[in-house]
Every structure is written in structure tokens, then in C-alpha cells.
Chain A
Amino acid sequence: MSAAAERIVLDHVDMRFTTDRGPLSVVDDVSLSVREGEFVALVGPSGCGKTTLLNMMAGFLTPTGGTVTLDGSPIRGPGRERGVMFQEYGVFPWLTVKENIAFGLKLGANRVPQAERDAICDRYMELMRLTDFRNSYPKTLSGGMRQRVALARAYAVNPAFLLMDEPFGALDAQTRSAMQDLLLEVLERENKTVVMITHSVDEALYLASRIVVISARPARIRRIIDVPFGYPRQDDIHTRPEFAALRSEIKDLVMREYAAQEKQARLRLSD
């Protein structure tokens, strides 16, 4: 793992906005390298600036200080090699399940012949257990199914990276656990580099190879933890003693940042 090449590199990144109440610092001097094939989980209080970090890697935001690079060149915008999973999924309501998954494959950037497109769609519909719903519109699907459509759509264009913003946050516990296993299953087959934002320490420990704990706003890196479990992973790692120990250690760190974030919010209210 340590020999793997650095792909996305954040180097002394700052993000400041000017607001009615003066300057607001959202990200403060963050340096982080995402290496080939690893699974990085960003954990921290809500509103701390995690999404801002992810948006910089996706290319939706440019930092006000420092650089964000992909393989050495600055990221200037979104690109098809970086698939993004948004919190609100963004499944196209006017397209059927199959058309949603095929969307990227019909674009000039990744156009493939019809037969190949059908094959790719079939494969991911199968994998995501969507085959029976291929001709359904999203309005008839549950949250978990929409999430799978979004995931299949992102996968279909075969990006090297997956940037995920709390992808399972809106799902119930059972669906969430099933989606985590499905993600591991897919990653097992296709080598991808993943950056995922999550609120759940359990989820981070179960999925990631590295966990980055982010501070209350402005976002700084509190600590980076290497997860000692290899892949493939099964549900039983939840019961391992190391899992429990790491879990409580990270939870402590995160809770402290949650408290700091809440204090900030209260101060802002009493301004």
C-alpha cells in the first residue's frame, strides 16, 4: 500500500469565503494524498467542510489557497475519471433505470457501440439487483434502489475514482448494511480509488483502508488512522476486539469535534 502512487493530492489547501459578517474560513491548511487503490473515509461533524474538500477533488470548487492536483496537474473541473456520488443521488427522473445507467455511455466522452452499452448496463443492473426494474421510472423506486441506480450510473463509465458524499446517509439500517457489502463486492472486482464522506465511524471502519478525522470548522486534519483490516472484508470484523478498540478511539476524537462544532454554532447564534 505504501508503495502505491499518489493520485489526488491536496497541498496546503485553504478555502475562505467573504460573507456579510466578514471572512469565513471553511478549510484551513489541509494536506492529504489519496493513493492508488485505497479507500479513504473522511469523518467529522456536519458543516465542518468535508463536502468542500470533496467538491475540490471533484472539481466543483477551486481552493483559495494551496493546490489540488490529479497525477501532478491541477484539477480545473469535473472529469469522467472521477465519478461522484451525491448525497441526494441525482437520479434523472425523466429516464428509466436502464436509461439512467446508460446516460454516461451515450456522451461523446465515453461513447461505446450499442451492443457494448447494453452489455455494460445489463452487468450493472444485475450486480445492483435492478434488472427487474430496468424500465421503471425513478418515482416508483425506493431510496435504496435509487441509490443503486446512481451507483450503477457512476460505475458504468468506469471511473478510476469514486468520490462519495454520505452515499448511504439517507438509508435505513438494513439497506445501508446491504449497500456497504455491495460496495465492497464491487470494489473487490474492479480496482477503484475511493474517497467517502460519512458520519458513521462504524461505516468508515468497515469500508475504509484509511480514516481521516476532520476537525470542527474550519476543516483541519485531526488525525489519520490506518485501518488494520485487509480485504475482502466480511461482516464478522464488527465483532473483532481491534474493531471495538479503534471504534471507541475514533468516536472519542469525533465527538470532541462535534462538541466544538456545536459550541461554534451557539456562539454564532448569540452574535
Chain B
Amino acid sequence: MAEPAAERPTRPTGATVWRRTRPVMLALAPWLVIVALWYTVHHSGLVKPALVPAPHVVLAKFWNLLTTQSFAIDIWMSTQRVLLGVILGTVCAVPVGFLIGWYDPVRRFVNPLINFFRALPPIALIPLVIVYFGIGESAKVIILFYASFFAGVIVMYEGISQISPIYIRVARTLGATDLEIFRRIIVPLSLPHVVTALRVALGVAWATLVASELIAAQEGLGAVIQDASSFFQLDTIYVGIITIGSVALLMDTLLRMVSRRLLAWQERIDA
């Protein structure tokens, strides 16, 4: 024991170590369970081990792809497409969702159209998009835009139409004009729904990404998975899938952190 006794009077016991590392352990636990299950399936003999590559093999493949191939560029290309599609989609969805939620005549006119296009799976549009926009970058972003836009519109519309009229009435009795009501009541009350719209759009966009990268993409996680499947490289397919999940989770976590800062006033139990 080189340290002076005064600074560390007792060695940390098992209990204090547990208290300190508890949050980290709890966060890691589900992932450890899933990796354990994965190994179990791999070794169980129920499936051919070759069909389910072991986690450490997939990890090694990930490292190999990252260091010797252009995997980092693939990740970046996909992330960039998702971000572009989601941002453009949400920027358009917010005002449209707002108009539908706020003005009854607009809602009656636009709602059937929105419901029709929302029901269309974005993948079904891919052939048409190829015809009109070719197979370049814009085609992929358009598919992601489409997916994000309709997801965002619904969230905004639902959110706006649920704004309680009491706040508007209060503001009016205090002498607020229409413009002041918009700026000081509607905008702050809409903000949580904008964040939710972004989160939903991100989810939908990642889900649509692989499909959009089927449009003869050279780069991107979807392309990596597609190529790997033609050569039956299961470990690469696993790497691609897990990377998509990880990046999507990371984005969602960042967004949740931002929204917690921004919306500290909200009454809710954070999951």
C-alpha cells in the first residue's frame, strides 16, 4: 500500500464497487445476455455453426473491414443519406403537419391524400424513382425523404391537434394578438412534437435505408450487406446489420439528450 492511509482508509468492498459501477453494469447487462445467447446458439448444434458466425468472428471481421476496406466510408455514406433525408423530410413535415393539425378545412382536404401516401411502403416507389431520378445519390435521398416526411407529418398533426385551447384562451385574456399567440404559445408547445417527429423519422429512415441502397448503390451499409449476400459472407452481413443498429441507436440517444435539455419542463417519466 503506497498510498497514505488517510486518503484511503478502507479498501473498496464488493458493495461499494457494485454501487459505483451499477449503472454501467445495468446498461451493459442486456447486451451481455444477447451475446451469451448468440454463443449458445452457435455452439448448440441446433444450427450449423457456419450459418451463425460467432460474435468474436464478427467483431474481427468488423475490425478487418474498418482497417483494410472502405467500411468507414460506407458508414458515413449511409449516415449522411439518412441525415439528409430526415432533415429535409422533417423540415417539410413540420409546417404541413402544423397546417393540417390547426386548420380544419386543410385537414379535410389533405387528410385522405396523406393517408394514401402514408400507407404506400417507400420500397414500392423505388422502380418509379429510378425511372425519374436515375440511380444517383438523389434517388436514395428522395426515398428517405418520402419515408421521413409522412412519418413526421402524422406525428406533428397528432401533436398539434392535441394542444389544449386553455393556453390560447389565457393568452387572449391577457391581451395577446394572433401573432403573439403563435410565437409564445404554439411554438413552445409544438417543440416536443418536432423532436418526436425527428425520432420517428430517424427510425423509419434507417429501416428504409437498405432498400434505398438496393438502387445500385456503390457505397453504404445497405450495399455492403447486399454485396456480402451475393458471396454468402455471413460475417459481413452480421457486421452490416449490427452497425446499422448501433448508428441508429447512437443518433436516437443523442436526440434524446438534446430533447431532455430542451424540454426540461415536460411532465413525464423518462424511459
Binding site for B on A (CB under 8 A): 58, 60, 77-80, 82-84, 86, 88, 90, 92-95, 103-104, 106-110, 137-139, 150, 153-154, 157
Give, as a whole number of angstroms, the nearest-CB distance from A25 to chain B.
25
Main secondary structure, interface of B, reads helix
**B188 partner residues in chain A, CB cutoff 8 A:** 94
Interface-facing stretch out of B75-83, B237-245, B261-269: B261-269
Q: Are A137 and B265 in contact (CB under 8 A)?
A: yes
The chain B residue sitting closest to A96, CB to CB, is B265
Is B22 interfacial (CB 8 A cutoff)?
Answer: no
The chain A residue sitting closest to B172, CB to CB, is A78
In the complex, what distance in Å separates the CA atom of A95 from the CA atom of B167? Answer: 12
Binding site for A on B (CB under 8 A): 166-167, 169-177, 180, 184-185, 188-189, 264-267
Contact (A60, B169) CB under 8 Å given A79-B175, A153-B174: yes
Q: Are A107 and B265 in contact (CB under 8 A)?
A: no
Q: Are B176 and A90 in contact (CB under 8 A)?
A: no
The chain A residue sitting closest to B174, CB to CB, is A104
**B174 partner residues in chain A, CB cutoff 8 A:** 80, 83, 103-104, 107, 109-110, 153-154, 157
Give, as a whole number of angstroms, the nearest-CB distance from A148 to chain B.
15
Across the interface, A82 reaches (CB within 8 A) one of B173, B189, B265, B266, namely B173
Contact (A94, B265) CB under 8 Å given A84-B169, A103-B184, A107-B180: yes
**B173 partner residues in chain A, CB cutoff 8 A:** 58, 78-80, 82-84, 154
Across the interface, A137 reaches (CB within 8 A) one of B169, B185, B264, namely B264
The chain B residue sitting closest to A110, CB to CB, is B175
Q: Are A90 and B167 in contact (CB under 8 A)?
A: yes
Q: What are 14 of the A-B contact pairs (CB < 8 Å)?
A: A58-B173, A79-B175, A82-B173, A83-B174, A90-B166, A90-B169, A92-B185, A103-B171, A103-B174, A106-B184, A107-B174, A108-B175, A109-B176, A150-B170
**A84 partner residues in chain B, CB cutoff 8 A:** 169-170, 173
**B264 partner residues in chain A, CB cutoff 8 A:** 137
Across the interface, A107 reaches (CB within 8 A) one of B169, B175, B267, namely B175
In the complex, what distance in Å separates the CA atom of A103 from the CA atom of B265? Answer: 16
Q: Are B180 and A78 in contact (CB under 8 A)?
A: no
List 11 additional contacts besides A92-B167, A94-B188, A107-B180; criterion CB under 8 Å: A79-B175, A80-B175, A84-B173, A86-B169, A90-B167, A103-B171, A106-B184, A107-B176, A108-B180, A139-B266, A154-B174
